[in-house]
Amino acid sequence: AQSVSQHNHHVILSEAASLELGCNYSYGGTVNLFWYVQYPGQHLQLLLKYFSGDPLVKGIKGFEAEFIKSKFSFNLRKPSVQWSDTAEYFCAVNERGFKTIFGAGTRLFVKA
Amino acid sequence: GAGVSQSPRYKVAKRGQDVALRCDPISGHVSLFWYQQALGQGPEFLTYFQNEAQLDKSGLPSDRFFAERPEGSVSTLKIQRTQQEDSAVYLCASSPQPGHGKIFGPGTRLTVT
């Protein structure tokens, strides 16, 4: 069955540190890839998505993610985090259809 | 409306009670999804509608769970004879087409006592 693995459940960083959150998926076919974010007290919102083309995609708030097909990975990065990036981040995959599978999430805490 | 809305936002039910959770998707969005999110977990797929047709209900955990979207807009997720393991946040999401990024609602937090 298709699955999504997020390597870190909790990450603590200081402001201005660089961020990389790992995501690997198990499906070998053509996929759409997503990162969603949930800020404290808010609902899930789309951060960025990859459908095709340039494997480096840029999203809101300075986030980017790189699709590496050979590694089945879609890691999320940000060069310099801010306190306001404190949130839970979910990687998600769908098989070019409707059923999207989510990872378990990574809680990021940024110290001011 | 501007976003996906869900009601109620919080629901406490005694074990054995039936509950109904409502979702109002973004107007015009063809696809509607229900997810269940347990504490500390990512959202788990429950069911999917394209317009009024329920195309996949493979994620519904038991026959106590039932969802409908009779006119292709508002959807209701019903849980009969609730059990403690049903306690979770139930998320509704919609998208203009299947496979695209979803717009999530705020969720309904169900607590079964």
Distance CA A57, CA A80 (A): 17
- CATH code for the domain in which residue A67 is found: 2.60.40.10
Domain tally for chain A? 1
Looking at residue A95, what is its pLDDT?
Answer: 78
Nearest to A44 among B56, B100, B104 (CB): B104
Distance CA A71, CA A26 (A): 10
Evaluate if residue A34 carries a pLDDT over 80. yes
Q: Mean pLDDT, to the nearest integer, of A3-24?
A: 95
Higher model confidence: residue B17 or residue A28? B17
Contact, B89 vs B10, CB < 8 A?
Answer: no
Question: Omega into B8 within 30° of 0, i.e. cis?
Answer: yes
Residue B21 vs residues A77, A90, B69: alpha-carbon distances, Å: 36, 24, 12
Looking at residue B93, what is its pLDDT?
Answer: 95
Q: Mean pLDDT in each 10-residue stretch from start to end of chain B (113 residues)?
A: 90 98 95 93 93 94 96 96 97 86 94 97
Listed by start position, the domains of chain B span 5-112
Q: Verify whether the Cβ–Cβ distance B99 to A36 is below 8 Å.
A: no
Evaluate if residue A1 carries a pLDDT over 70. no
Higher model confidence: residue A97 or residue B91? B91
* Region B5-112: CATH code: 2.60.40.10
Considering only alpha carbons, which residue of chain B is nearest residue A46? B101
A-facing residues of B in 16-45 (CB < 8 A) are 31, 33, 35, 40-45
Considering only alpha carbons, which residue of chain B is nearest residue A4? B42
Q: A104: domain range?
A: 4-111
Distance CA B73, CA A56 (A): 35
Q: Using a CB-CB distance cutoff of 8 angstroms, which residues of chain B are in contact with residue A100?
A: 33, 45, 102
Half-sphere exposure of residue B75: CA atoms within 13 angstroms, side-chain side: 33
Supply B27's token pair.
Answer: 């107007």
Considering only alpha carbons, which residue of chain A is nearest residue B97? A98
Q: Mean pLDDT, to the nearest integer, of A81-90?
A: 97
| Confidence at A96, pLDDT banded by 50, 70, 90 | low
